Amino acid sequence: MTDSKYFTTTKKGEIFELKAELNSDKKEKKKEAVKKVIASMTVGKDVSALFPDVVNCMQTDNLELKKLVYLYLMNYAKSQPDMAIMAVNTFVKDCEDPNPLIRALAVRTMGCIRVDKITEYLCEPLRKCLKDEDPYVRKTAAVCVAKLHDINAQLVEDQGFLDTLKDLISDSNPMVVANAVAALSEIAESHPNSNLLDLNPQTINKLLTALNECTEWGQIFILDCLANYTPRDDRESQSICERVTPRLSHANSAVVLSAVKVLMKFMEMLPKDLDYYGTLLKKLAPPLVTLLSAEPELQYVALRNINLIVQKRPEILKHEMKVFFVKYNDPIYVKLEKLDIMIRLASQANIAQVLAELKEYATEVDVDFVRKAVRAIGRCAIKVEQSAERCVSTLLDLIQTKVNYVVQEAIVVIKDIFRKYPNKYESVIATLCENLDSLDEPEARAAMIWIVGEYAERIDNADELLESFLEGFHDESTQVQLQLLTAIVKLFLKKPTETQELVQQVLSLATQDSDNPDLRDRGYIYWRLLSTDPVAAKEVVLAEKPLISEETDLIEPTLLEELICHIGTLASVYHKPPSAFVEGSRGVQHKRLPARAGSGESAESPDVGQSGPAEAPPAVIPSQGDLLGDLLNLDLAPPTATIPSVQPSMQMGAMDLLGGGLDSLMGDESDTLGGDIGGSPSMGAGLGAAPAAMPAALGSAPAVGGGLGDLFDLGGGVGMPTGAYVAPKTVWLPAMKAKGLEISGTFARRGGIIQMDLSLTNKAMSVMTDFAIQFNRNSFGLAPAGPLQVLTPLSPNQTIDVSLPLSTSGPVMKMEPLNNLQVAVKNNIDVFYFSCQYPLSLLFVEDGKMERQVFLATWKDIPNDNEAQFQIKDIHLNSDAASNKLQGSNIFTIAKRTVEGQDMLYQSVKLTNAIWVLAEMRIQTGNPNYTLSIKCRAPEVSQFVYQCYELVLKN
């Protein structure tokens, strides 16, 4: 006798017959009838019409019958809310039953009936059950709170159930604790900031105790909850790790992975030199490997997570390459993931093994897998430089197989290899060209065309090859069309004589016969470039391309950190932050790894800034992001800390700083240009480079020009008695470039202290807070000596004046012009960059008066080549007045000689970096023009010292 008998029907009509049976007097018949009803329900038949009859069977002593009726109720109460009320009394009565199983069952079922009216009746029984003497009832009630919250969140809060639930975390029974944690975690998900799970060392201790004794599922809930805690110090972190480690040997893989998450997060806080840190690292590998021998579905999730772990801490699995080797009967989704991890683990030590495997995979049956394997070979070549040659020859072997999709994939990756190692493997081009005809996929065709265009000068029949593609130009995909356009322009620039016709043909195809705006725009740009300035065109189109690096496929570090905090979750499977895909309404808190306490290390990765500029690795593709990141990081550190080295060379740095401004400058023009310019990387780079000069000029103009303008406005005459001259403030950062923040400022030297006087004006609509400032490296090592003191928030239309003391102990890098200073200011809105120029007099120190003898000796000692002469015009001062004025700015007169009505003033200046500047000023009575000769061992400063003279004397 099996349950399939419940599905048999008679002619009379099923419902009718069931109704009769349900109302039967015989217990047994009733039960059988309910079973039939349930059976129909499970396969999706509608038996809701029987509702009153089934509910009538609820009053019974038979537990099985009761359970069956409950099952039915849960399913249909929603569609029959009025009828469901009938059942309430029985529920309430059952909640008082002496048998805990019945009490629990009643409260559990009531929570599943998603009818508003019923929930009101549920509150009282639930309150009792949460405090029931039997833990089985309590743990069921805990889950019931989560159910009720799902139906009516407000009710749960009003009734104070959340507090009762929190109390259950301290329950004596581990299962109750686990369920309370699970319920709270679920509720917390819809209230991201509610701080429901208020974790403190006491609760953590209780959770850890419960962890050892509850079921495997409870362990998962508790571990996931633990992962949200931030330990106070490394010792607490270690003690939690020690208590969590045994979970790594659990048979349930979900427990293992949750434990891995907790450990990965908390070990971040442990000092690396600690013995325990190493022990922990060693303990993490075996459980991860074990996950790979589980069922394929588990393997898949495990592999997605291992992919993250390998990126964060490659050392854990670096010796376990072989477990990622693909087996013939792995499902495809496992194969692809394993391949990905193999590449991540590939290193010089194991590359031979990896390549042998990949070559093996390339002959497998599954096309997707074979393609990815071929791609993987290319990625190995890019990642492990020593293996590049071997990879290329492996790829050539594969091309010889003539299997169509293998050849195409191989060509795509060889293109990347060319970009990583230019001028090294071009000998294979001939082999590639042989396969030209078999390429039918856009990506492969585009790659081949790129290669032909890039190496046009080495391919004798490049023009023929490209011409052959041109025949079906309109049938090609955009990718191929764009590539073909660029390739032919390259070819033309390399071999202009033979290919003029070809280039005209492609330009007209692109601009006149195409309705693709990208293609048309690129066509026009080339056309104009070629027609107006072929030399510039050459520079743009044939510009040296930045090398590609293997890092491109790595997950960006901040995202990786967040994902590490989400190991074992859906986020980790999709490699996307939870906010990117969890149902919209819920806000999600971004999780960060805790910072390492103790030991001197501040960051995980070896920081370039610490290792010193000399060792700075050549950045492969310096991006604005790098610099931005550096400046941002710095804001977090105390301002006296050394400024991190800006990785790229100085010119790069300047470009990066101006990059932001460039965008806004370009912004206005882009409307008139229309469409996007982008396109090929070479194009982008070219366009970027050309206007770079312009904003540089623009950027400096307001600072200098404005300053001078103000000076002239003031007019001469009204000199200040003593003290250094301070220029009036000029606008350094206009509000429109900085999202409403306007910064004007000037520099002053007061009592031996250099100060940057800033006026910050908020021209935006919202309040600005969290100001911070940072300088780029500069010629004299100027750096803020303290934080930017903007204590109160800056409300709209408010201006605040701040004086920022500066030190000269910052890192030094020569700037152009010498007195240029690049500044980054951060507030709660964004980071802004500007550059300004400071008068060199800022750096004239107070003890700059040289001994006469020394002066003479030094003057003679400095070669005459270093002497520079300037004219200072329109000065109506006598020599004494001039001398006084200059002394106020720390230009000291050592001696004065009068020869034939001409006053000769000998003066000395000392800069903060101990450079001495010697000067001879000749003043002829009646002549407003002074002659100034400056001698200095660093002649490049002379120009700026002269500017200071002029500034000071004219005010």
Partner 1 sequence: MIHSLFLINNAGDLFLEKHWKSVISRSVCDYFFEAREKAVEPDNVPPVIRTPHHYLINIYREKIFFVSVIQTEVPPLFVIEFLHRVAETFQDYFGECSETTIKDNVVIVYELLEEMLDNGFPLATESNILKELIRPPTILRTMVNTITGSSNVGETLPTGQLSTIPWRRAGVKYTNNEAYFDVVEEIDAILDKSGTTVFAEIQGVIDACVKLSGMPDLTLSFMNPRLLDDVSFHPCVRYKRWESERVISFIPPDGNFQLMSYHISAQNLVAIPVYVKQNISFFETGSSGRLDITVGPKQTMGKTVECLVVTVHMPKVVLSANLNATQGTYNYDPVTKILVWDIGKLNSQKLPNLKGSLSLQSGAPKPEENPSLNIDLKIQQLAISGLKVNRLDMYGEKYKPFKGVKYVTKAGKFQVRT
Residue numbers 112-141 binding partner 1 by CB under 8 A: 112, 114, 134-136, 140
Interacting residues with partner 1 between 384 and 413 (CB under 8 A): 401, 403
CA angle centred on 720, ends 715 and 725, rounded to 5°: 85
By CB under 8 A, which span of 12-20, 56-64, 675-683, 826-834 interacts with partner 1?
56-64
Q: What does the alpha-carbon distance between residue 117 and residue 22 come to, in Å, rounded to a whole number?
A: 27
Interaction of residue 455 with partner 1, rule CB under 8 A: no
At 743 the three-state DSSP class reads: strand
Q: Which is nearer to partner 1, 214 or 843 (CB)?
A: 214
Residue 186 is a binding residue for partner 1 (CB under 8 A)? yes
Q: Which of 44, 600, 617, 618 binds partner 1 (CB under 8 A)?
A: 44
Please choose, out of 58-66, 408-416, 719-727, 929-937, the segment that lies near partner 1 by the rule CB under 8 A: 58-66
Question: Residue 548 gets which letter from DSSP?
Answer: P
Q: Beta strand pairing status for 753-762 and 799-807? A: antiparallel
- Candidate segments 183-191, 533-541, 878-886, 944-952, binder of partner 1 by CB under 8 A: 183-191
Interacting residues with partner 1 between 342 and 381 (CB under 8 A): 356-357, 360, 363-365
Residues 273-302 that bind partner 1 (CB under 8 A): 286-287, 289-290, 293, 295-298, 300-302
CA distance 628 to 33: 72
In the complex, least distance from residue 12 CB atom to partner 1, rounded to whole angstroms: 23
Burial class (CB in 10 A: 0-12, 13-18, 19+), 121: middle
**CB under 8 A: which stretch of 67-75, 422-430, 714-722, 850-858 binds partner 1?**
67-75
Regarding 14 and contact with partner 1 (CB under 8 A), the answer is no
Q: Which helix (H) or strand (E) holds 261?
A: helix 253-266
| Cross-strand pairs, 745 | 730, 758
User: Strand pairing partners for 750?
Assistant: 753
| Closer CB to partner 1, 27 or 814, in the complex | 27
Backbone torsions φ then ψ of 848, nearest 5 degrees: -90, 15
Structure tokens at 451: 């290669």
- By CB under 8 A, the residues from 246 to 275 that bind partner 1 are 246, 249-254, 256-258
Q: Kindly report the CA angle at 917 between 916 and 920, in degrees rounded to 5?
A: 145
List the one residue from 121, 276, 277, 325 that touches partner 1 (CB under 8 A). 325
Q: 573-592: which residues touch partner 1 (CB under 8 A)? A: 573-574, 578, 581-583
Comparing CB distances to partner 1, the nearer of 173 and 759 is 173
**Sign of the CA dihedral 507, 508, 512, 514?**
negative
Among 53, 84, 147, 630, binds partner 1 (CB under 8 A): 147
Give me the least distance between CB of 355 and partner 1, in Å please.
13
Burial of 414 (0-12, 13-18, 19+ CB in 10 A): buried
Residue 391 beta carbon to partner 1: minimum distance, rounded to whole angstroms: 19
Q: Are 414 and 378 in contact (CB under 8 A)?
A: yes
Nearer to partner 1, 302 or 493 (CB): 302
Residue among 363 and 461 whose Cβ is closer to partner 1: 363
Interaction pattern, residues 155-174, with partner 1; x per rule: CB under 8 A: ------------------xx
Residue 329 or residue 427: which is nearer to partner 1 going by CB?
329
Tell me, residue by residue from 886 to 915, as one string, x for binding to partner 1 by CB under 8 A and - for no binding. Answer: ------------------------------
Tell me if 73 contacts partner 1 by CB under 8 A: no
Phi-psi category of residue 679: left, alpha or beta, with phi > 0 → left and psi -120 to 50 → alpha: left
**Please, are residues 269 and 234 in contact by the beta-carbon 8 Å criterion?**
yes
Establish if 418 lies at the interface with partner 1 (CB under 8 A).
Answer: no
Tokens describing residue 19: 């109704």
| 685 scored as a contact of partner 1 (CB under 8 A) | no
Give CA–CA dist 312/303, Å, rounded: 14
Work out how close the CB of 105 gets to partner 1 at its nearest, in angstroms, rounded to a whole number.
10
Q: Which is nearer to partner 1, 217 or 455 (CB)?
A: 217
Q: 590 — phi, psi (to 5°)?
A: -80, 130
Nearer to partner 1, 365 or 614 (CB): 365
Q: How far apart are CA 575 and CA 301, in angstroms?
A: 11
State the nearest-atom distance from the C-beta of 52 to partner 1, in Å. Answer: 21
Nearest Cα to 606, choosing from 619, 614, 616?
Answer: 616
Cα distance between residue 71 and residue 34, in whole Å: 10
319 binds partner 1 (CB under 8 A): yes
Hey, how many other C-beta atoms are within 10 angstroms of the C-beta on 138? Answer: 23
Which amino acid belongs to residue 547? L
Do 338 and 324 contact (CB within 8 A), yes or no? yes
Binding residues for partner 1 restricted to 806-825, rule: CB under 8 A: none
Which of these ranges, 61-69, 156-164, 234-242, 655-663, lies near partner 1 under the rule CB under 8 A? 61-69
Residue ranges of alpha helices (H) inside 769-921 are 852-861, 879-888
Q: What angle do CA 724, 726, 732 make, to 5 degrees?
A: 150
Buried-state track 585-614, b at ≥16 Cβ within 10 A, e below 16? eeebeebebbebbeeeeeeeeeebbeeeee
Residue 104 C-beta: closest distance to partner 1, Å: 8
Amino acid letter at 840? Answer: L
Binding residues for partner 1 restricted to 92-111, rule: CB under 8 A = 99-101, 108, 111
**3-state SS assignment for residue 412:** helix
CB nearer partner 1, residue 233 or residue 297: 297
* Residue written as token pair 């010119």: 651
User: Are the CB atoms for 334 and 306 separated by under 8 Å?
Assistant: no
- Is residue 786 a contact point for partner 1 (CB under 8 A)? no
| Segment interacting with partner 1, rule: CB under 8 A, options 30-38, 529-537, 590-598, 897-905 | 30-38
Examine residue 16 and tell whether it contacts partner 1 (CB under 8 A).
Answer: no
- Residue from the set 179, 203, 486, 514 that interacts with partner 1 by CB under 8 A: 179
Interface with partner 1 includes 213 (CB under 8 A)? yes
Among candidates 211, 231, 213, 229, which has minimal Cα distance to 221? 211
Name which of 187 and 482 has its Cβ closer to partner 1. 187
Count of C-beta atoms within a 10 Å radius of residue 885: 23
Closer Cβ to partner 1, 438 or 624, answer by number: 438
CB of 445 to partner 1, least distance (A): 22
Strand partners, 761: 742, 799
According to the binding rule CB under 8 A, does residue 331 interact with partner 1? Answer: yes
- Of the two residues 320 and 443, which places its CB atom closer to partner 1 in the complex? 320
Shortest distance (Å) from residue 252 CB to partner 1: 6
Residue of 9, 16, 45, 63 that binds partner 1 (CB under 8 A)? 63
Q: Is 209 in the site for partner 1 (CB under 8 A)?
A: no
Of residues 75 and 912, the one with the C-beta less far from partner 1? 75
How many other CB atoms sit within 10 Å of the CB of residue 860?
10
Residues in the chain: 955
Compute the least distance from the CB of residue 384 to partner 1, in Å: 20
Distance CA 432, CA 221 (A): 56
> Hey, which residues does 824 pair with through a beta bridge?
774, 833
In DSSP notation, 620-636 reads: SS--HHHHHHHHHHHHH
Which of 323, 548, 687, 735 is in the footprint of partner 1 by CB under 8 A? 323
Closer to partner 1 by Cβ: residue 325 or 859? 325
Site residues (CB under 8 A) for partner 1, limited to 549-578: 568-571, 573-574, 578
Candidates 14, 17, 320, 604; binder of partner 1 (CB under 8 A) is 320
**Which residues from 725-754 bind partner 1, rule CB under 8 A?**
none
